């Protein structure tokens, strides 16, 4: 089966298409892709990943045509970002959308 592994690093996008045998997992795909040596900041045990934007775990069986996506951690909690924007609007005179 053929799968793609993608990672959007701050320095740019990284992608690799690989062939896997039957019974392979998403973790196997990540290891075989070579993304870990290319991006030493990634820790296999700590990765957040998904297939076509749907969260999955490392032990999820891979399927032909999957796009395995490795996600970076959020820099700022979305709720906190909204609070910050609302506070800025309030300080600028209460302008709302």
Give a yes or no: residue 97 inside a domain.
no
* DSSP letter, residue 72: P
Q: Structural domain tally of the chain?
A: 1
Containing domain of residue 19, as a range? 2-91
Q: Express as a percent the part of the chain with pLDDT over 90.
A: 68
Query: Residues 29-46: pLDDT tens digits?
Result: 999 999 999 999 899 999
Name every residue whose Cβ is closer than 8 Å to that of residue 97 and which is 6 or more positions away in sequence. none
Give a yes or no: residue 59 inside a domain.
yes
pLDDT at 50 over 60: yes
pLDDT at 95 over 70: no
pLDDT at 75 over 80: no
CA distance 52 to 49: 10
Name the E strands within 1-97. Answer: 2-9, 12-19, 48-51, 54-56, 67-71
pLDDT at 97: 54
The domain spanning residue 74 has which CATH number?
3.10.20.30
Give a yes or no: residue 96 inside a domain.
no
pLDDT at 94: 58
């Amino acid at each position: 089966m053929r799968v793609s592994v993608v990672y959007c690093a701050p320095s740019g996008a990284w992608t690799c298409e690989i062939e896997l045998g039957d019974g392979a997992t998403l973790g196997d795909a990540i290891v075989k892709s070579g993304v870990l040596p290319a991006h030493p900041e990634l820790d296999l045990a700590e990765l957040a990943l998904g297939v076509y934007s749907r969260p999955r775990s490392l032990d999820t069986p891979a399927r032909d045509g999957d796009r395995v996506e490795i996600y970076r951690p959020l820099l700022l909690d979305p709720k906190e970002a909204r609070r910050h924007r609302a506070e800025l609007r309030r300080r600028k005179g209460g302008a709302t959308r």
